[in-house]
Amino acid sequence: MGLLSAAVRGVQVNRTRLLPLAGIVAACFAAALVLPATRDRVLRYPLAIAEFILLALFVIAFWTIPSDFTRRMRRNPLSVAGFSIIVLFVAIAALAPILAPPPATSRDAYLIPQEGFSSDPKPPQVRHPFGTTEGQYDIYYGIIWGTRTAFRVSITVIAISVVIGLFLGGISGYYGGRLDEIIMRLTDVFLAFPGLVLAVVVVAVLGRSLDNVMIAIAIVNWPVYARLLRGDILGIRSRDFVEAARALGGNDFRIIFRHIIPNAIYPFLVFGSLDVGLIVLTAAALSFLGLGAEVGYADWGMLINLSRNWILGAPGNPFAYWYVVIFPGAAIFLFVLGWNLLGDAFRDILDPRLRGSS
């Protein structure tokens, strides 16, 4: 609620600067409604439009909140670039049904439509702006809907890792002693594995599917969160307000959840957002090894996997099938790049050692 009111306030404060932006958005929608080619699509998916408007408002609000943090973000060209890229992907995800409407007969919008079954990819053409990949899946459709998959995978993985990390890291940091020792050795065990190999084992054991890919990456990821939280808690535990709560006889559970976690969670979430790029890359690597989403499911890693046999081109023409790898590759690259740019900017801003020198 607090965030929302801040957002509203942000909009009010910066009304003058927002006007042209809002104008552009409104003009786009007006144009979309007037043009017969797009009108049907827009009218068929009012929910997607609503989602998009809401997200757009939220993003604008965030960007215009007057604070030191956003001021520094705005001043750094790299972070502006990163932020714009991510906003672009959020917009694509929200507007997926309008940008790439699923065929009327489709049972599941995430299944990429096929035109024929032949294995040889076909270059971009009017019906398939990015061409088709092995098995005649439409690359454009896969990339648009794959954006949603990318967000879903990263959010789910972070959510699972955060929950496990909060739980184990919280216990470890708060109670300390032998429990701490055991949990920390447990994280040692998980961190001693090269992440990709552990993820491969987990998916191989559980079976190939996108859900299992998420579980596998979360299993690889949680120890980092647990350690991070533990470290924060060790710092906070001895602070006055925690001591006070303890002196007043508050029970452990209450202290952890009311006092410790709210104070430790901020760097935690920042770290999570920095992790998105790595998660998407790991998921793509699993797909590349043949352990990703089902063939035909809108997922960038799956598209890369389909391109595997064609990536080296045709004899005498190494770039004959450039489109099967360039488009999904570019989607992954831009998405990860956006998060990495943003992450680096975050880190620079939050790193106290580098403060005040720029």
Partner 1 sequence: MATYIGRRLVLLPIVAFGVTVLIFALLQFLAPEMRAAAFITNPNQLNALPAIIQKYGLDKPVHIQYVNWLREVFLRGNLGWSQTARQPVRQAIGSFFPATLELTMYSFIPIMIIGVWLGTAAAVHRDKAIDHVSRVFSISFRSLPSFVWGLLILMILYGRLNWFPPGRLSLEQDLFVRSGQFHFYTHVMTIDALLNGELWIFLDAVRHLAGPVLTLTMISIALLVRITRSSMLEVLRQDYVRTARAKGLDEPVVINVHARKNALIPVITLSSLTFVGLLGGVVITETIFNFPGIGRWGAFAANQLDIPGVTGFAMFVAALTVLGNLAADILYAYFDPRVRLQ
Partner 2 sequence: MNWTRSALALLVLTLALTLVGTGIAQGQATRNPDTLVLVRFGDPETLDPAYSYDTASSEIILWHVYETLIFFNGGSTGQFVPMLATQVPSVRNGGISMDGKTYTFRLRSGVKFHDGSTMTVEDVKYSLLRFMFMDRDGGPSWILLSPILGVEGTRDDKGALDAALFNKANQAIKTSGDTISITLESPYAPFLSIMAQWSMVVNRKWAIAQDDWNGTPLGVAKLNNPAKPEDTKLFSQGNGTGPFKLAQWDRQGRQAILERNTTYWRAPAKLARVVYRVVEDFGPRRLMIQQGDADIVSVNRTEQSQVEGVQGVRVIDDLPQLVMTGIYMNLKIDTSGGNPDVGSGRLDGNGVPADFFADVNVRRGVAYAFDYNTTIRDCNRGKAIVGRGAIPAGMFGYNPNQRWFTTDRARAEAAFREARGGQVWANGFKFSVAFNSGNTTRQCTAQVLKSNLEALNPKFKVDVRGVTWAQYLSLYRQSKLPMWIIGWAADYPDADNFVTPFQHSKGTYGSAQGYTNAEVDKLIVDARNETDAAKRRAIYFKLSEIAFNDITTIYLQPVGFQVMRSWVRGWYNNPAFFGPYVYPMSKS
- Closer by beta carbon to partner 1, 68 or else 351: 351
- Say whether 33 sits in a helix, a strand or coil: helix
Distance in angstroms (rounded) separating the CA atoms of residues 158 and 34 = 41
124, 208, 265, 326: residue in contact with partner 2 (rule CB under 8 A) = 208
Residue 291, interface with partner 2 (CB under 8 A)? Answer: yes
Helix and strand totals (H; E) in the chain? 16, 2
Place of tokens 């439009």: 49
Residues 222-281 that bind partner 1 (CB under 8 A): 277, 281
Q: Can residue 196 be called a binding residue for partner 1 (CB under 8 A)?
A: yes
**Which residue number, 44 or 75, has a Cβ lying nearer to partner 1?**
75
**Structure-token pair, residue 36:** 């017969």
Residue of 207, 221, 196, 206 whose CA lies nearest to 294: 207
Q: Is 284 in the site for partner 1 (CB under 8 A)?
A: yes
Half-sphere exposure of residue 120: CA atoms within 13 angstroms, side-chain side: 4
Q: Which of residues 116-145 bind partner 2 (CB under 8 A)?
A: 116-120, 134-135
Q: Which stretch binds partner 2 (CB under 8 A): 15-23, 155-163, 203-211, 228-236?
A: 203-211
Does residue 304 bind partner 1 (CB under 8 A)? Answer: yes
**Shortest reach from residue 202's CB to partner 2, in Å:** 13
- List CB contacts of 48: < 8 A, sequence separation 6 or more: 94, 95, 96, 97, 98
**Residue 44 CB, nearest distance to partner 2 (Å)?**
19
Q: What is the DSSP letter of 354?
A: G
Question: Cα(77)–Cα(283) distance, rounded to whole angstroms?
Answer: 29
Task: Quote the CA–CA distance of 319 and 314 in Å, as a whole number.
Answer: 7
Residue 46 or 315 with smaller CB distance to partner 2: 315
CA dihedral sign of residues 5, 7, 11, 13: positive
Q: Which of 200, 234, 245, 350 binds partner 1 (CB under 8 A)?
A: 200
- Would you list the DSSP string of 174-242? HH-HHHHHHHHHHHHHHHTS-HHHHHHHHHHHH-SSHHHHHHHHHHHHHHHHHHHHHHHHHHHHTSHHH
Q: Look up tokens 């929200």; give the residue.
A: 94
- Which residue is associated with the tokens 């958005």? 25
Binding partner 2 (rule: CB under 8 A), the pick from 19, 53, 244, 314 is: 314
The yes or no reply on residue 178 touching partner 1 (CB under 8 A) is no
Contact between 336 and partner 1 per CB under 8 A = yes
**Using the rule CB under 8 A, is 285 a contact of partner 1?**
yes
Least Å distance, CB 112 to partner 1, is 20
Task: Give the shortest CB-232-to-partner 1 separation in angstroms.
Answer: 21
**Window of 15-23, 55-63, 201-209, 350-358 that interacts with partner 2 by CB under 8 A:** 201-209
Among 80, 147, 77, 136, residue whose Cα is nearest residue 110 = 147
What is the binding site for partner 2 (CB under 8 A)?
A: 105, 107, 114, 116-120, 134-135, 204, 207-208, 290-291, 294-296, 308-312, 314-316
What is the binding site for partner 1 (CB under 8 A)?
A: 78, 185-186, 188-198, 200-202, 204-206, 277, 281, 284-285, 288-291, 304, 308, 311-313, 318, 325, 329, 332-333, 336-337, 340-341, 344, 351, 353-354, 357-358
